[in-house]
Every structure is written in structure tokens, then in C-alpha cells.
Amino acid sequence: FISPITFQTLTGFPARTDLFGNWSKNYIPHIGNAQWADAVVVIPATANIIGKIACGIADDLLTATIAAVTVPVILAPSMNSAMYENPIVQKNIAFLRQHGYYFAEPAWGRLACGTEGRGRLAPVEDIVAFLEKVLTLQDDLSSLKFLITAGGTREPIDPVRYISNRSSGKMGYALAEAARRRGASVTLVSAPTCLSPPPGVRVVHVESALDMLKACEEHFVDADVLIMAAAVADYTPENYRRQKIKKGQGVPEINLKPTPDIVKELSGQRKAQFIVGFAAETDDLEYNARQKIIDKDLDLIVANDINKGIFGSDNTWISLLDRQGVIARYSDISKKEAAEIILSTVAERLSDRN
């Protein structure tokens, strides 16, 4: 195997191996590494190191460094195919993806044990290309202003009750966080959620569909991109009861009226904004999405299959469509990964415009 001195000779940098070595008053190795790096790439990433990182273990210089970094971390798995396909290993990989870690997928081929399968380290040139792609993503939206909506609106019935839906807001928040990380100026108009505001994002809190429309109209004029990820209620009570409806008064009759179609109204006000809509469907997913992209004059639509239990989940199933039809389909990916895919598609389309 290659010794530390070989790495030091070839790179011109010290090869560090000891978590507790070379400490001083002004230098702690794993913190120094973390603050110095623009990215961290683990080659090869064994089942052991993937498991340790997923569990937050930081008992050596590598894992302690990874625990301290705020830059992208890329793992290049390499192991026997049975180990790679082990449900626990796959669970750890999925967990790390959800938390923003990147994976350079292993290749299919002859393994060190003599068998063939998926688990062979990806070619070095592929890993380098993947690293370049990840680093390029960091500032590719730096000149753009994004207006993003999230969460499920609440339509008040009385001071206690309201009509709402199952949206958690996770998709919209993931989009806002990713857009900000990639350099965009982001305003997030959020219906009530249990989520913490993404760092560096301006958050406007709203309750109802009408509140969201007013907030969006205020910020839409300055936006370059609108992403309507919020689940806006379709109906609201005609009359708000100022006093709580008492149970003993019998079953109340609540008449409903349509809420404003926010994305349709904003698309009618657009100058040159790029508009992305969402469609949550139980049936005829892509057909209904195609109808919405035309009816609401959208540039792109993200179709969600809600039969997969996506509400409240960290994962999702999506189809991306434009006016010509389906661009791509993705199954059981994290919402953070979906956010990156959606933003990359937006960036490509804006580049084509220019």
C-alpha cells in the first residue's frame, strides 16, 4: 500500500494521519483542515467510513475533519458488491444524501475479491469531473433573484379552526437553501411549517392563500425566477366566524369559495421571469401536469406522485416537464437532491435563453 511519504512527495503537501499530532495553541489539525478545504473527497469510501460519517463518529483525523467542514463532501464508494447492496449500507448512503453529501457512484466490474458486480471504484477521471461539477454548482446562480414559496396555506374558519393540507414545506425549504448556497439572492414566502429558516434566506411568513398572493406580488416584480412549491389551498370559507363555533350548536354549514390561483395570476404579470410550478397528483400525473403548464403559462413544472407518501417525507418521486413534454423522471430521491436537480434545470434553461 502507498505510504504517507508517497502522498507528501507527489502533492507537495503534508500527509496527515494523526488526530492528536501536531496540535498547538494556534493550530488544531482537524479544524485547520476543515477551514482550509474547498471540498473534501474520500477515495475510496468503504462501508466502514460511510457508516461512521452517517453516525456522526469523529474518532480519527478524517472523520473529525468531515464533522467540522462546511464545504461539499464527496464520497467515492469502493467495496464488494454484496457489501454495497447491504440494506444498512444503502440506508447510510441515503441518509447522507439527505444531508447534502455527494456520491461518485461506483462502477460495475471486476472486484478485488475476484467476483464481478457494482462496487468497483469509479474511474479517477469520472471522480474529478464529478468534483468539478459540484464545485461549479456553488456559484452558478449568483446573479439571480429567486422567489420561492413553501408550505401549506391555512384558510381560517373561526379563531380556532382552519382548512389546510398535508404539505410539510420541506421541498420549498430545500429549494431555498440550495439556491442560496449556489449564490442566488432568495426570498422565501412560507406558509406555516415546523422548519427552521434556511441561513441567508429572507423569509416572509404568511397564513392564507390571499396572504401568499399579496406577498408574492410584492416581491415578484424584482425576481428573476419564481418557484411555486407551496401547496396552496384551493378553497377558503366564504364567511369567517369571528367567534369559535360551539360543538353544541349542531353541525355547521361552511360554504366555500375558490382561492386565487397565485401562479396563474403572477404568470399574467410577468416580464421576463422564469416560472416553475408544482403539481401534486394521485392519478394521470404527467397528463395533468402538461395541462397545468399550458393553462398557467409555466416554463417548467415539477409533478409529484403523492401516492408514494411524499407528504412529510424527506424523499420524493418527481417528473420534470416543459411545454414539449417530459424532461426526466426521478424515483425515491431526497428532496435536497430533487432541489439540486430542479435548480440545475432552471440554470440550463436560463443559459439557453441568453
The active-site residue, picked from 55, 113, 194, 216, is 113
Mutual angle of helices 29-36 and 61-68, in 10-degree steps: 50
Torsion of CA 16, 19, 24, 29, to 10 degrees: 60
Dist. CA 33–CA 27, nearest whole Å: 10
Q: Is 113 a catalytic residue?
A: yes
Question: CA distances (Å), 334 to each of 96, 311, 341, in order?
Answer: 10, 13, 11
Dist. CA 260–CA 149, nearest whole Å: 15
Candidates 59, 51, 100; CA nearest to 77 is 51
Beta bridge partners of 158: none
Dist. CA 27–CA 149, nearest whole Å: 43
| Type and span of the H or E element at 315 | strand 315-322
| Type and span of the H or E element at 345 | helix 335-353
Catalytic site positions: 113
